[in-house]
Structure formats: C-alpha cells, structure tokens
C-alpha cells in the first residue's frame, strides 16, 4: 500500500460515502493506492483474510481513470419499519412525494439545524413483508447526495412531519447500492467503467 509523505505518513486509502452511524450497508466502496500493480482477485483474498467476521470484500478492480467519488452521487436504501401497516407507510410516502418542501430538524455539533429532505428523495416505493404472521411495510428509497447529507432517519423524520407516522420500534436501514443516478432514477454501477466492455455472448443474435 502507498503511504503519504512527511513526518506522519498514513496509508492512501479513502472510503466513499461511508454509511451513517446505526445503519447497515451492503454497498461500501473504498479506494486504495498501491505501489505496484497486483491482481485484483488476489488483493480481495488478501484483504478479506484480514477483515473481521461479517465484513466481506466482494470485488476489486484496477482504476483506469477518474475518481470513484465522481461516480457516486446517490444511494438506494431499504428501510424496514416493523409495526407499521403497509398501507399506512404507503400513504405517508405518497404524502411526502407530493410535496416540494419537507423540513425536519437534526441535532448537530453546532446545535439544531433545519433540513429540507424532499429535494434529496429521488424516488420511493413501498412493499409488504411479514414477520411472525404480522405484515409490515418496507420502504425502498433512492436518495441523492446533498449538503448536508440526507440520511435514512431524516426520511423517517419527514414521514413523521408530513403524515404523523410513528414507528413503534426502531426502523432498520440498510444501504443496498451506491452510484450515479441514471435517466430512469436508478443507480449505475460505479465500477462498471473500470471493468471494460463485457465479452460477446454466443446466445445473442441480431
């Protein structure tokens, strides 16, 4: 691994869009600068052996051009809301999406700050799941990176403000994807430009 120069060298490694405290994530990205070219698959194996249980490295690619941070401007979150009926969650989401302004307050190190959540919420869908025979709602939401960042708990606070939605137990937020927004409101794979073109498939004919 490459290190910076000076009296206090540190490894040249940077996390991209680290998840907020209390949130889970299935889509974390990190850039590592090395001093020599290595096989990406071998690097994954070496790093994975050093990771604690539960943290698994999935893939590494050699950076061809540009910064990884420039390819990430949104996240897709899955927010489980046990104890909230699917219909109530869907109605609250519809109320939020119908607005242009949905302000919430967040406590920061400099005191309370008012944040307009709505511009960051690109799209939101709800679905129903069941646990122990009781149905509840799950929110899948795509959130654009803004300053300040809008977090899953800010989205839940907005639902509380606009629709008085009060989950009886803490929600569970998991980041499922990061990347650049595409024209359809989806999220493009940020590593795709470094993988190169896909090989032709024998079963595809024009």
Q: Where in the chain is the domain with CATH 3.30.70?
A: 72-188
| Selected residue with higher pLDDT from 118 and 21 | 118
Tokens of 11: 């490894």
pLDDT of res. 198: 56
Which alpha helices (H) appear in the chain, and where do they start and end? 40-50, 86-97, 152-163, 192-195
pLDDT of res. 19: 82
Rounded CA-CA distance 53/164 in Å is 39
Rounded CA-CA distance 194/61 in Å is 6
Question: Which of these, 65, 61, 81, lies nearest to 165 by C-alpha position?
Answer: 81
Task: With H, G, I as helix, E, B as strand and everything else as coil, classify residue 44.
Answer: helix
Taking only the tens place, the pLDDT of each residue in 112-145 is 899 999 999 999 999 999 887 889 999 999 999 9
Note whether 30 and 190 are within 8 A (CB). Answer: no
Q: Is CATH 3.30.70 correct for 72-188?
A: yes
What is the percentage of the chain residues whose pLDDT exceeds 90?
48
Q: Kindly state the average pLDDT of the residues 72-97.
A: 96
pLDDT of res. 205: 41
Residue-averaged pLDDT of the chain:
88
Inform me whether the pLDDT recorded for 204 exceeds 70.
no
pLDDT of res. 77: 97
């Amino acid at each position: 691994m490459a290190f910076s120069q000076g009296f206090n060298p540190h490894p040249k490694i940077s996390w991209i869009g680290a998840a907020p405290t209390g949130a889970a994530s299935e889509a974390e990205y990190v850039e590592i600068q090395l001093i020599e070219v290595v096989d990406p698959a071998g690097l994954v194996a070496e790093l994975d052996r050093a990771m604690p249980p539960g943290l698994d490295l999935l893939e590494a690619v050699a950076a061809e051009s540009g910064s990884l941070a420039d390819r990430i401007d949104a996240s897709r979150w899955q927010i489980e809301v046990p104890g909230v009926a699917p219909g109530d969650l869907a109605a609250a989401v519809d109320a939020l999406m119908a607005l242009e302004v949905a302000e919430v307050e967040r406590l920061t190190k400099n005191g309370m700050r008012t944040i307009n959540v709505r511009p960051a919420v690109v799209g939101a869908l709800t679905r129903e799941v069941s646990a122990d025979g009781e149905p509840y709602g799950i929110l899948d939401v795509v959130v654009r990176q803004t300053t300040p960042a809008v977090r899953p708990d800010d989205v839940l606070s907005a639902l509380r403000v606009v629709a008085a939605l009060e989950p009886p137990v803490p929600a569970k937020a998991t980041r499922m994807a990061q990347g650049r927004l595409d024209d359809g409101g989806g999220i493009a794979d940020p590593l795709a430009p470094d993988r190169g073109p896909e090989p032709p498939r024998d079963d595809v004919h024009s």
